[in-house]
A and B are shown apart, each in its own frame.
Chain A
């Protein structure tokens, strides 16, 4: 079965510091896409960053970057210079043909 595992239900980070959220996935596919979505208290699902499995270069979007290890089936999200507005639930997601979500990591930002 295709699954996405986020082993950290909750994390906290000091404002302006860097935090890394972990994600692993299980697949037999060779071509797929990976995403991190953010869900703030408003409950809106917001796409943070995406990665194509056939690209070795790690994706970066401003303060957000990923560490994609295809052989290890690992896809972690690094948030640099954490801001109060980054507080949210973060979902790792995998798309071989439809998006499958992990259970999420709740990120708290400490002022």
Chain B
């Protein structure tokens, strides 16, 4: 079945440094979503990408969907302590349910 992987599993950064997490699918995706989960909280939707090569920005966050629609990335510029949490990608293969990656846990040292 479809598999979604994320790297790295953990990332520790100093406040102000940049952060990137990568998401890779074993199959071509129709769309991909990104979620953020704060420690002890629930996943919160960030964005959805549907077009090949699509790039979307939300303030300091930049999301990218690969040309082949099998990978995606989330880049955070100048991290802040409020960025702490686990970032999940979820990929959907046409007509099927979303499959979540294992997540990247980000910690930001002040």
Mutual binders A and B = no
Which B residues fall within an 8 A CB radius of A?
none
Which A residues fall within an 8 A CB radius of B?
none
